[in-house]
Amino acid sequence: MLDETLVSEVLGQARRGGASFAELYVERWRRRAVRLLSGEVKEATSGIEYGAGLRLFYGTEVVYGYTNDLSPEGLLEVSETLVRLKGQAGQVDQAGRGGLDFRKAVAQGLHAPVVPLSARDKRYRLERLLEAEAGARVGPEIVQVQTQLLEWEQEVLVANSEGAWCEDRRVRTRLYVTAIAQGEGGLQTGVAGPGLSVGLELFDRYPPAEVGRKAGLQALTNLRAKPAPAGPMPVVIGNGFGGVIFHEALGHLLETTSVARKTSVLADRLGEKVAADCVTYIDDGTIPHGWGSSEFDDEGRPTERTVLIENGVLKSYMVDRWGSLLTGYRPTGSGRRQDYTFAPTSRMRNTFIAPGNTPKEKLFEGVEFGLYAADLGGGQVLPGSGEYNFAVKEGYIIRHGRVEEPVRGAMLVGKGPESIKRIVAVSDDLEMGPGMCGSLSGSLPVEVGQPHLLISEIVVGGQA
Amino acid sequence: MTFEEAKDYLLRKARELGLELEVLAAKNRELAVQAREGRIEEITQANQGGVGVRAVVAGKTGYAYTEELTPEALDWVLQEARENALLQSEAGGFLPVGGALGRHDLLGEGLSAPLEQKRQKALDLEAGLRVDPRVKQVQMTRYAEHETQAILGSTGGVSGAFRNGYALLLTNAVMGEGQSLKQGYEFELAKEFHALEPGRTAQAFLQNTGRLLGARPLKTGRYRAYFEPKAFAQLLGTMGWFLLSAKNVLEGKSLLAGKIGQKVASEIFTLVDDPTLPGGLASRPFDAEGTPSKRTVLIERGVLRTFAHNAETARKMGAENTGHAARSYKGVLGVAPTNLFVEPGQGVRPDRGVVITDLMGLHAGANPISGEFSLQALGLWVEGGEVAYPVENFTVAGNFLELLSRITALGTELEWNPMMGIVGSPMVEVAELSFAGA
C-alpha cells in the first residue's frame, strides 16, 4: 500500500530521537452493511476507512500516533510530532540512520474467500436476506424480523525498524438475524448470527433460511418461557457460543494486557494447576476461515495455536510485543487492534475448550434441579478480581436429570478462578461461535467455543 | 483535500447529478497520556476524521463514507450512496430544507495547557492512589482530551459547523484487604483542563472501591433497591433511551409504542433532554439534520409526553420534531440523546435493602426490546438506616417499565455520568426488585 522507501524513511526519522523500536501500521478497509426490517431495506451503507498508526518504543514506554493523511508529508509530520512528544526533538541518535532492508512476508491466502464479495451484486444479497427473513417467520407470533449483512475487507501492512514487512488481506462476512415475537410474554427476541473469514460462501456454509429459523424458534421459546430461577445451582452450558464463559472467566485473565501489569488474578502462575483436570484451553489464530483468524497479527507476527491450559495446568499466556518486553514471555502472535486508531494489545483470536470424553447426556444425569444454558449472549469481566457475568439467551430448567420447560432472562455471575474449578465434566461435541470482543485496543472479531459442560454451582440471576 | 473542500466537492457533484445530498464531516483530535508506576507509559496523539453522506433519490435513502479525501474516493462515495438508495423499496426519505446555521465554538481555549502539565495530571492521579496501601495494582491512570469539529451541509441549503470537546481523567485499579480483591474505576470529565483535579479523582476512587472490600454474599430475595446515580444513569442511557427513540417505536421495538399521554412511570419521575444546557458535555447548537436545539420534556411527572424524533420519524408519526437527529460520518440517521437527565426529588434515606453502586454486563443482560434486565451488580447492604456491609456475587433483575413505576423516592442532587451517553441522575429508590445471590 505504501512505497518501501517512504516507509523506511518514516521509520528512520521516527527513531532519530532515540526510540528503541518503531512500527508503522497501514490499513484500508472497505465495509458494506445492509439492514432489512420486515423485508424492506432500512439502511444500506458503504465505506472506506484508511489510516496509519505509528508506534515508538523507548524501552517499555510507548508513544503512538495516527492519521488519515498518508502522504509523505502527513506521515513525516506524525513522526515529528511523536519525537517531540517524547521531548527529544533535536537529539540526533545513530538509530534509524540509513535505510532498512525489509524481509517481506505476504499472506498466502489461507483464509481467502472462495466466492469473492465482488462476484455478486447487491440484489443477490437482498435475496439471501429475504430467505433469512422467511426462515425466521416460524409462526404468527413473529411480528418483526430484522436481518443484517456485514462485509469487511481489510488490507494491512505492518513494517518495523527490525526490518519486518508483512502484508495481509482479511475478508469477513457476517449474517445477523433478530426475530421479535409478541404474545402473553410481551415482546421477546431470538437471534442468530454466523460469521466467518469468508466471502459470500457464508450463505453456503450457513443457509440463510436455517439461520432465520434458528432466530425465530428462539424467539418463540422465549415467548413461552417463564422467568428464570434465582440463586446458586448446577448449570449445563451449551456448546458453541457457550464458550463465552471461558472467554470472560479465563481468557481475559491470560492476556499480557492484564498479566504484565499484575492486574490479573492469574499473573505469575505458569505451571500451576488453575482448573479441573478435564479442562484444556486453546487460543488458535490459524483455524481456516475462523471469524477471529488471520495469517499475521497486527504487529506483523504470524498467528499461531497457543495452548493456554493443558489438563488444568497453566501453560502459556497470550503475549504481544509490549507484554513480552515486560514479562519476558515469548510473543504468541496475539497483538491485535480494532483499527489504526488503536495501538495493539494482547487479545484473544479463536479460543475454545478442547473436547472431553463425557457423553452429552451424562452431563444432565446427576442434576436434580439446575439450569441448561443452551445459548448465551455476551459477558464482561474484571480481571483484577476475576468477577464476571454473562447472559443466557435461551435456557431451560433441568429437573431430575431431564431438560424441561424454558426460562428466560438469566444472567450468570461468579469469580472466574472459582468457577473454573467447578467444571466437573466436559462433553465431546466442540463447536465454535463468532462474537465481538471489546477491550483496550477496541472491538475485535473473536470466536469462542466449547463442548457441552457441567458446572457444579454458579449463581443464576433470575427473578423467580 | 480538507474536510471543507471535500464537502464542497460532494455538494457540487451532487447538484450536477441531480442528487439530494447531505454531507456530514467530523474532524477529531485526540491526546492521551497514560501513567503507571510513576512513569509515563503511553502517549497517543492523533488527528483523524472522515466524511459521510446521506443521499436521497426519489424518496429512497442511501449512505456512504470515506476517510480518504481524494476525488476518486469521493466519487465512489456518491456512486455507492446512490446505489444503496436504490436498494430501498420504501419511499419517504427526505432531506430537511434549511439555511445557514453559523459556526459555533463550544470549547474555546478550555484544553489549552502545556503538555508537561497534562503529563503531570496523569502522574498525580496515580500518586494519589498509591498513598493508600490497599491499592494493590494500578491497571492505568490516564489523562485524555478529545476535540471534534462537526461540519454539516446539504443540497437543501443547510450549512453549519461547531466545535466541542472535553478533557478526562480516568483510572482503573485493584484494591485488596485480606482475601478480598476489588477492581474499580473512576473518572472525571470537564470542558476545562484546569477543572480536573487528580487528588479529587483519586479520593473518589479510594472511597468508591475501598468501601466494597470485605464483601459478603447477598442472600437471594426481593429487596428495596437504592440505585446510586452512576448505576441508574447506565440503565437509563441504554434501556430508557431505546424505548423513547421514535425510530425504535416505528420499527416495532419499543414497549412504549402507543402510550403518549399515558402514565408510564412513578409520578415523581420527570425525564428531560436538554442540548442547550450551558456547559453541558453534550450541548450542541443543532442536530445532525440541522434542526436547531431545544429542551424536551420526555416524561413529565410519570406521563409520557413525546418520543425523541428526527425530521423523518416526526413526519412518519405526525409528531413535532424534537431535534434529536444523530449520525456519525460512518453511521446512519438515528435519534440520540444529548444531556439526558432525571429531575432531582425530595431526597432518599436508605432504610433496609441494597444500595446498587454499579452495574455490569448491560450490553448482554439488558434486553431493551423485552424491557427485561438481569445484571451483575456491586453494592452495599443497608439495615436500620445504616450501611451494614458490602455485598458481592449477585444480580439484580426486573422489567425496566415496572421499575420506573415503582420509583418511590429521588435524591436531591444530580450527578452526570458519561458512560452511556451524557446522563444525569440523582439517587433512585425502587420499592422492590429481585436479587439473586447465595
Q: Does residue B224 carry a pLDDT above 90? A: yes
Q: Inspect the interface and report whether the beta carbons of B65 and A48 lie closer than 8 Å.
A: yes
Q: Inspect the interface and report whether the beta carbons of A379 and B83 lie closer than 8 Å.
A: no
Domain boundary among A186, A204, A224: A224
**Residue A385: its pLDDT value, please?**
86
Are both A344 and A373 inside the same structural domain? Answer: yes
Is B55 touching A (CB cutoff 8 A)? no
Q: Which residues of A touch B52 (CB under 8 A)?
A: 47
Kindly report the length of chain B: 438
Q: How far is CA A220 from CA A16, A129, A141, A430, in A?
A: 64, 20, 7, 26
Are both A218 and A258 inside the same structural domain? Answer: no
Cα(A252)–Cα(A273) distance, integer angstroms: 18
Min Cα–Cα distance to chain B from A326, Å: 12
From A252-266, B289-303, B380-394, the region with the lowest mean pLDDT: A252-266
Are the beta carbons of A291 and A446 closer than 8 angstroms? yes
Are both A169 and A252 inside the same structural domain? Answer: no
Q: Inspect the interface and report whether the beta carbons of B392 and A387 lie closer than 8 Å.
A: yes
Q: Does residue A88 carry a pLDDT above 70? A: no
Q: Inspect the interface and report whether the beta carbons of A186 and B371 lie closer than 8 Å.
A: yes
**Residue A307: its pLDDT value, please?**
98
Q: How far is CA B143 from CA A81, B131, B187, B403, in A?
A: 18, 19, 10, 36
Are both A257 and A153 inside the same structural domain? Answer: no
Q: Does residue A217 carry a pLDDT above 90? A: yes
Is B49 touching A (CB cutoff 8 A)? yes
Are both A96 and A128 inside the same structural domain? Answer: no
CB-side exposure of A455: number of CA atoms within 13 Å?
28
Q: How far is CA A283 from CA A277, B229, B421, in A?
A: 18, 39, 34
Q: Does residue B435 carry a pLDDT above 70? A: yes
Is B84 touching A (CB cutoff 8 A)? yes
From A60-64, A86-90, A215-219, B16-20, the region with the lowest mean pLDDT: A86-90
Min Cα–Cα distance to chain A from B181, Å: 5
Q: Which residues of B touch A220 (CB under 8 A)?
A: none
**Residue B304: its pLDDT value, please?**
98
**Residue B374: its pLDDT value, please?**
93
Cα(A382)–Cα(B208) distance, integer angstroms: 16
Cα(A97)–Cα(A94) distance, integer angstroms: 6
Q: Does residue A92 carry a pLDDT above 70? A: no
Q: Does residue B322 carry a pLDDT above 70? A: yes
Residue of B67, B251, B370 lying closest to A68 (CB–CB): B67
Over residues B393-424, the pLDDT tens digits come to: 999 999 999 999 999 999 999 999 988 889 99
Are both A210 and A250 inside the same structural domain? Answer: no
Are both A186 and A249 inside the same structural domain? Answer: no
Residue of A40, A384, A413 lying closest to B137 (CB–CB): A384
Is B79 touching A (CB cutoff 8 A)? no
Min Cα–Cα distance to chain A from B425, Å: 24
Is position A37 within any domain? no
Which of A261, A408, A415, A440 would best serve as a mutation to test chain B binding (most B beta carbons within 10 A)?
Answer: A261
Confidence of residue A186 (pLDDT cuts 50, 70, 90): confident
Cell numbers of B281, please? 458535555
ipTM of the complex in this document: 0.93
Residue of A180, A230, A462 lying closest to B369 (CB–CB): A180
Q: Inspect the interface and report whether the beta carbons of B395 and A461 lie closer than 8 Å.
A: yes
**Residue A380: its pLDDT value, please?**
86
Cα(B195)–Cα(B309) distance, integer angstroms: 34
Q: Which residues of B touch A30 (CB under 8 A)?
A: none
Q: Which residues of B touch A343 (CB under 8 A)?
A: 42, 44
What is the 3-class SS of chain B, one letter each residue? CCHHHHHHHHHHHHHHHCCEEEEEEEEEEEEEEEEECCEEEEEEEEEEEEEEEEEEECCEEEEEEECCCCHHHHHHHHHHHHHHHHCCCCCCCCCCCCCEEEEEECCCCCCCCCHHHHHHHHHHHHHHHHCCCCEEEEEEEEEEEEEEEEEEEECCCCEEEEEEEEEEEEEEEEEEECCEEEEEEEEEEECCHHHCCHHHHHHHHHHHHHCCCCCEECCCEEEEEEECHHHHHHHHHHHHHHHHEHHHHHCCCCCCCCCCCCECCCCCCCEEECCCCCCCCCCCCECCCCCECCCEEEEECCEECCCECCHHHHHHHCCCCCCCEECCCCCCCEECCCEEEECCCCCCCCCCEEEEEEEECHHHHEECCCCEEEEEEEEEEEECCEEEEEEEEEEEEEEHHHHHHCEEEECCCCEEECECEEEEECCEEEEEEEEECC
Is position A33 within any domain? no
Residue of B80, B255, B364 lying closest to A391 (CB–CB): B364
Residue B113 phi, psi dihedral angles, 5° rounding? -170, 155
Residue of B363, B373, B397 lying closest to A378 (CB–CB): B363
Q: Does residue A253 carry a pLDDT above 90? A: yes
Domain boundary among A206, A224, A242: A224
Is B392 touching A (CB cutoff 8 A)? yes
Is position A74 within any domain? yes
Residue A393 phi, psi dihedral angles, 5° rounding? -95, -25
Q: Which residues of A touch B139 (CB under 8 A)?
A: 258, 261, 263, 384
Is position A108 within any domain? no
Are both A313 and A423 inside the same structural domain? Answer: yes
**Average model confidence (pLDDT) across chain B:** 95
Is B81 touching A (CB cutoff 8 A)? yes
**Once rounded to an integer, what is the mean pLDDT over residues B318-327?**
98
**Residue A454: its pLDDT value, please?**
96
Q: What residue ranges define each of the domains in chain B, with the CATH number in brackets? A: 3-208 (3.30.2290.10), 215-438 (no CATH)
Cα(A395)–Cα(A198) distance, integer angstroms: 31
Which of A117, A222, A387 would best serve as a mutation to test chain B binding (most B beta carbons within 10 A)?
Answer: A387
Residue of A62, A144, A265 lying closest to B181 (CB–CB): A265
Q: Does residue A94 carry a pLDDT above 80? A: no
Min Cα–Cα distance to chain A from B194, Å: 21
Min Cα–Cα distance to chain A from B221, Å: 8
Cell numbers of B373, please? 434486565
Over residues B37-84, the pLDDT tens digits come to: 899 999 999 999 999 999 999 999 999 999 999 999 999 999 999 999
Are the beta carbons of A181 and A71 closer than 8 angstroms? no
Which of B138, B313, B393 would best serve as a mutation to test chain A binding (most A beta carbons within 10 A)?
Answer: B393
> Domain span at residue A147?
117-224
Q: Strand B159-177 relative to strand B100-105: parallel, antiparallel, unpaired?
A: parallel
Is position A40 within any domain? no
Cα(B395)–Cα(B214) distance, integer angstroms: 18
Min Cα–Cα distance to chain B from A415, Å: 8
Min Cα–Cα distance to chain B from A357, Å: 31
Burial (0-12, 13-18, 19+ Cβ within 10 Å), A46 = buried
**Average model confidence (pLDDT) across chain A:** 93
Min Cα–Cα distance to chain A from B396, Å: 7
**Residue A386: its pLDDT value, please?**
87
Q: Inspect the interface and report whether the beta carbons of A409 and B65 lie closer than 8 Å.
A: no
Q: Enumerate residues 6+ apart whose C-beta is below 8 A from B34.
A: B40, B41, B42, B43, B122, B140, B141, B142
Q: Inspect the interface and report whether the beta carbons of A40 and B90 lie closer than 8 Å.
A: yes
Find the residue in B nearest to A123 (Cα): B87
Cell numbers of B167, please? 478533557
Residue of B66, B115, B364 lying closest to A48 (CB–CB): B66
Is position A159 within any domain? yes
Q: Which residues of A touch B333 (CB under 8 A)?
A: 43
Find the residue in A nearest to B36 (Cα): A261
Q: CA dihedral defined by B276, B280, B286, B292, rounded to 10 degrees?
A: -10
Are both A283 and A179 inside the same structural domain? Answer: no
Q: Does residue A91 carry a pLDDT above 60? A: no
Cell numbers of A134, please? 422467511
Are both A89 and A135 inside the same structural domain? Answer: no
From A113-127, A235-249, B208-222, the region with the lowest mean pLDDT: A235-249
Between chain A and chain B, the number of residue pairs with CB atoms below 8 A apart is 250
Cα(A290)–Cα(A8) distance, integer angstroms: 33
Query: The domain spanning residue A144 has which CATH number?
Result: 3.30.2290.10
Radius of gyration of chain B, Cα coordinates, nearest whole angstrom: 24
Cell numbers of A442, please? 477496541
Are both A220 and A140 inside the same structural domain? Answer: yes
**Once rounded to an integer, what is the mean pLDDT over residues A75-99?**
73
Cα(B273)–Cα(B424) distance, integer angstroms: 10
Are both A361 and A257 inside the same structural domain? Answer: yes
Closest CA to B226 of B387, B65, B69, B106: B387
Q: Enumerate residues 6+ apart whose C-beta is below 8 A from B248.
A: B242, B254, B368
Is position A242 within any domain? yes
Q: Does residue A98 carry a pLDDT above 70? A: no
**Residue A232: its pLDDT value, please?**
94
**Residue A56: its pLDDT value, please?**
96
Min Cα–Cα distance to chain B from A446, Å: 16
Cα(A236)–Cα(A424) distance, integer angstroms: 10
Cα(A105)–Cα(A157) distance, integer angstroms: 10
Q: Which residues of A touch B138 (CB under 8 A)?
A: 261, 263
**Residue A96: its pLDDT value, please?**
56
Q: Which residues of A touch B3 (CB under 8 A)?
A: none
Residue B213 phi, psi dihedral angles, 5° rounding? -65, 145
Find the residue in A nearest to B52 (Cα): A47
Query: The domain spanning residue A79 has which CATH number?
Result: 3.30.160
Cell numbers of B228, please? 446510586
Confidence of residue B380 (pLDDT cuts 50, 70, 90): very high
Q: Inspect the interface and report whether the beta carbons of A461 and B374 lie closer than 8 Å.
A: yes
Q: Inspect the interface and report whether the beta carbons of B39 and A49 lie closer than 8 Å.
A: no
Domain boundary among A177, A199, A224: A224
Tally of domains in chain A: 3
What is the 3-class SS of chain A, one letter each residue? CCCHHHHHHHHHHHHHHCCCEEEEEEEEEEEEEEEEECCEEEEEEEEEEEEEEEEEEECCEEEEEEECCCCHHHHHHHHHHHHHHCCCCCCCCCCCCCCCCCEEEECCCCCCCCCCHHHCCHHHHHHHHHHHHHHHCCCCCEEEEEEEEEEEEEEEEEEECCCEEEEEEEEEEEEEEEEEEEECCEEEEEEECCEECCCCCHHHHCCHHHHHHHHHHHHHHHHHCEECCEEEEEEEECCHHHHHHHHHHCHHHHEHHHHCCCCCCCCCCCCCECCCCCCCEEEECCCCCCCCCCCECCCCCECCEEEEEECCEECCCECCHHHHHHHCCCCCCCEECCCCCCCCEECCCEEEECCCCCCHHHHHHCCCEEEEEEEEEEEEEECCCCEEEEEEEEEEEEECCEEEEEEECCEEEEEHHHHHHCEEEECCCCEEEEEEEEECCEEEEEEEEECCEEEEEEEEECCC
Q: Inspect the interface and report whether the beta carbons of B181 and A47 lie closer than 8 Å.
A: no
Over residues A294-323, the pLDDT tens digits come to: 999 999 999 999 999 999 999 999 999 999
Confidence of residue A49 (pLDDT cuts 50, 70, 90): very high
Over residues A425-449, the pLDDT tens digits come to: 999 999 999 999 999 899 999 999 9
Over residues A14-32, the pLDDT tens digits come to: 998 889 999 999 999 999 9
Cα(A402)–Cα(A426) distance, integer angstroms: 18
Q: Inspect the interface and report whether the beta carbons of B438 and A69 lie closer than 8 Å.
A: no
Is position A36 within any domain? no
Q: Which residues of B touch A379 (CB under 8 A)?
A: 361, 364
Kindly state the percentage of chain A with pLDDT values over 90.
Answer: 83
Buried b (16+ CB within 10 A) or exposed e, B339-350: bbbbbbbeebeb
Q: Inspect the interface and report whether the beta carbons of A459 and B436 lie closer than 8 Å.
A: yes
Q: Inspect the interface and report whether the beta carbons of A380 and B361 lie closer than 8 Å.
A: yes
Find the residue in A nearest to B372 (Cα): A409
Are the beta carbons of B286 and B323 closer than 8 angstroms? yes
Is B117 touching A (CB cutoff 8 A)? no
